[in-house]
Structure 1
Amino acid sequence: MSQLTFFNYVTGITIGSIAANMLTNENSNFIGDLIDLIWWALLTIIIGFIALKLPKLRVIIDGEPTIIIKKGKIEKNSWLN
């Protein structure tokens, strides 16, 4: 099962918003919006690649996972973090 991080969530919403604006707004500049969409996608890929190579940056971007259930038992202390 995959985990959706806050960074991935914000990126998905932003790319979706730019794409929706391109398709629905008659007064927008299609080429300018397309450049924005490509720029945001490339920026996301670059940040993701850098986060893979630098573990300290990965913690800043994605955060640290919290174990809620361990060996079939609920970890109540993990909720406090």
Structure 2
Amino acid sequence: MSEPCVEHWLLAHFQSINLSQNRACDFYEQLLKKYIHDYDKNDCVLLKKHLNKENIEIAITHYPEIGKIPLKYFINT
């Protein structure tokens, strides 16, 4: 389980999101289905089809905390 849920993060690839919004994951899943109609959290092929470099750059802009992930987990300072 992730906090916030993965759908919240995925939604940032397509639209601005409210970082203070605290809703159940199914709320974000329904919003995400506007962009990925047949969204299934377990379908990596489907996600790969819809997410690309451009979407990832958009997500970082929409969700600044994403940019801190490498610092937190992968870069030793």
Higher relative contact order (CA 8 A, sep 6+): 2
Normalising by structure 1, what TM-score? 0.24
Q: Which has the higher helix share?
A: 1
Q: Which has the higher strand share?
A: 1
Structure of greater Rg: 1
Normalising by structure 2, what TM-score? 0.25
